[in-house]
Structure 1
């Protein structure tokens, strides 16, 4: 059962952790490349702020973004701001998200996200946790997938394997965490099954498009290529 209140606590902790790490930078560090192709650290921080705004919009019944072009333009425009402005934006928008989530609401209602995707309102705090935690890793500032909380890693693997289930471009795939975190099935139902095994952080890195999977072991075929998230 999803505990959105506990997830909100985790979101706040993850946000504080990211802000504390970034507070040690200077303006030059913000302009350095992140681990996301074509994005600086400033792009990542601007995206995090705008994502908080977008989730507030969704919770209040509005479209997350006016359109894709506006979303991209807002991130690009915000990417070159000084460090103090970036951090203030991330902090203030995070607080606004928390404040809206603290309002009385029906957490079982369905929320419309981007591109026709819908989800239960109760899952939005976890979605925000994913944004903050994975993008902290993307900043390339010493925080790695192995540093993520075990609960987070397991739940995000749950989410991603569910997302790829039934996708005809992914072969039937059994995913096994060698550290005992669990096992999952994903992909289509047609064709020979491929087994992919490794530590939970390595599996998450592959599923989330953060690692190429070189440290993973496969049986029954090559490592499946996954659709872009």
Structure 2
């Protein structure tokens, strides 16, 4: 269940873990490739900073990004900066977001994200938590899906299953988690496939971070999911 107070605290904790990990890098390693195709670690860090600013825009009623092209240009512009500049930017942009969140009085209102997506303001903190946690993994510096807080993993699996539920390109799937939890996603008609596995592997598949080879599939082939 979404709880913006709890999720904001989780974002603070995740941001501190991320900042500590970044501080252990150097300029050379920050310029190395990340796990995201075509992006260096610097691209990931630049994206995290600009995403915090974009969510400030969302919470203050402005467009999330000026345009898709401007979003990409800002990330490319900032990607090659030195590590100290990245570290400062990730920290200060996060603080701007926390300050903006602290000033909110109506968390039930509708906000506008990129691509015409709308949501309630109360879900913005969790959306930021997803960015911080998954992109920390994407840096490829020793923080893995297995290291993510269990509560976050469970919540993100639910969030992504909801995102794909009813999607016309995803066949029906019954997800069986290793703790016995079950959840459906994809097409709601017909007999669903059954996908079973560890929560980290399920999250990796749903979030496009793993190919699903570690999962067990009954009733057909593991679906290829749309990009996030």
Q: Do the two structures share a fold, i.e. TM-score over 0.5?
A: yes
- Match in the other structure for 1:42: 42
Matched, 1:222 2:215: no
- Match in the other structure for 1:69: 69
C-alpha distance in 1 between matches for 2:87 and 2:124: 22
CA offsets 1:61-112 (integer angstroms, 9 cap, x no match): 0001000000000001100000000010000000000000001420000101
For residue 191 of structure 1, report the CA deviation from its aligned partner. 4.1
Alignment of 1:144-223 (within 5 A): 144-180=144-180, 182-223=181-222
C-alpha distance in 2 between matches for 1:36 and 1:197: 26
Is the 1:171–1:192 contact (alpha carbons within 8 Å) kept by the matching residues of 2? no
Unaligned runs of at least 5 residues, structure 2: none
Secondary structure of residue in 1 paired with 2:114: coil
- Match in the other structure for 2:86: 86
C-alpha distance in 1 between matches for 2:168 and 2:122: 29
- Match in the other structure for 1:141: 141
**Structure 2-normalised TM-score?**
0.98
Residues 126/26 of structure 1: CA separation in 2 closer, same or farther (3 Å cut): same
Secondary structure of residue in 2 paired with 1:38: coil
Moved over 4 A (4+): none
CA offsets 1:147-201 (integer angstroms, 9 cap, x no match): 0011100100001000001111111100110233x21101112444211000111
- State the aligned residue count: 228
